[in-house]
Amino acid sequence: MRNIDDVLIRLRAEFVDMPGLRLRVDQVQRLCGVERTLCQQILDVLVHEKFLAHSDGHYARLTRAQHSHHSRVDLDRHSNRL
């Protein structure tokens, strides 16, 4: 079994090296050679870190513009509660 840190480094490098890369869980699983549960956990970590975004069954790199947009949306939601 591969070390989780090795897989995280590999995935970050793949997404940085190939802008616009969009992968499904099964594709990431094959790319990294890990079982599905571990693969999903790793993807969840990268989404939580806001490195990846998940949409329509695909994972893609979250760009700065997208990150800023999400932050504004979160701020707008928070402001509406006040």
pTM confidence score: 0.74
Nearest Cα to 5, choosing from 36, 53, 41, 56?
A: 41
Q: Measured between alpha carbons, how far is 10 from 12 in angstroms, rounded to an integer?
A: 6
Summarised one tens digit per residue, pLDDT across range 45-80 is: 999 999 999 999 999 998 765 554 444 334 343 334
What is the per-residue pLDDT across 20-45, written as a single tens digit (0 to 9) for each?
A: 999 999 999 999 999 999 999 999 99
The number of distinct structural domains making up the chain is 1
The CATH number given to whatever domain includes residue 31 is 1.10.10.10
Q: Which domain holds residue 24?
A: 4-81
